[in-house]
Amino acid sequence: MQFLPDLSAQALISRDLIAALRRDAPLVQCLTNFVSMNTAANVLLAMGASPAMVHAQEEAPEFARVCGAVVINIGTLSSPWLDSMLLTAASANEAGIPWVLDPVAHHATAFRRDAVRRLLDLGPAIIRGNASEIIALAGGQSASKGVDARDAVSQAEQSAHAIAASRATVVAVTGETDYVTDGTRAVRIVGGSPLMPRVTATGCALTALVGACAAVSRDDPYSAAVAALSCFAIAGQRAGVQADGPGSFAWRFLDALATLDADSLTRESPLR
């Protein structure tokens, strides 16, 4: 494993990526769960992207071909949604559209394990999950029984590297300190707020932003993931300073994302 030696160069890439996101307003198709739809859409709008919560099997695969990126999140999974997800991922691949997988609680049931196995075989450009999900995805023993992370990100770094190398994908592990790797490069991202896990769908919304960044960085999904996580780290830290609790944090965080200028990615770089 090799850590990127020039973090300032990576911060500059993140800055340019967010500037491109603000300029191009990419269309991001989100096949995501019921809990996160509103939050994910608002986060994408705050960052300048255009969200589309299109998931029906009758139109989702066709719609994917006109999008900048596709996000697949299995939070509230059902058989019809899974069928649509598989067809949409395949359609995105055919059209050269990057797609991002959020394997929410994939280790909790046999249905979820099988769903994620089938989705992984379609080759997501980026996988974003918490430490417990990534450890389990690599075949390790996780302490979690559901959607909550019970493992530290540091415990998931080796698993993330193994998945990225074997699957030729980018893995982003999020928690108190985030970790992103493509199997060769790797970086840690610090920041955010302890209030973030207390606001529902924050992680799912982050996955949507990863998709938006991938839409303007198709040739470098690693940098897309780093840029998205950096935005959340900076905005979360800003919002957490003034928030009185999870309620006020939620709207302050959205405002912090909306007012985040591209230069913040270099001035306040959270890369370590």
R_g over Cα of the chain: 17
Alpha carbons 185 and 121: distance in angstroms, whole number = 23
DSSP 76: T
Angle in degrees, 0-180, between the axes of helices 37-47 and 246-258, rounded to the nearest 10: 30
Phi, psi of 263 (to 5 degrees): -65, -20
Please calculate the CA angle 267-203-143 and round it to the nearest 5 degrees: 120
Q: How many CA atoms lie within 13 A of 107 on its CB side?
A: 22
Q: Which residues contact residue 59 at a Cβ distance below 8 angstroms, ignoring those fewer than 6 apart?
A: none
C-alpha closest to that of 36 among 49, 53, 14, 58: 53
Q: Determine whether the annotation assigns residue 53 to a binding site.
A: yes
* Spatial CB neighbours of 90, under 8 Å, sequence gap ≥ 6: 61, 122
Any known ligand binding at 201? yes
First-to-last CA distance in the chain? 15
Alpha-carbon gap, residue 242 to 96, rounded angstroms: 42
Map tokens 């299995």 to a residue.
74
Residues annotated within a binding site for ATP = 128, 174
Residues annotated within a binding site = 53, 128, 174, 201
Residues annotated within a binding site for substrate = 53, 201
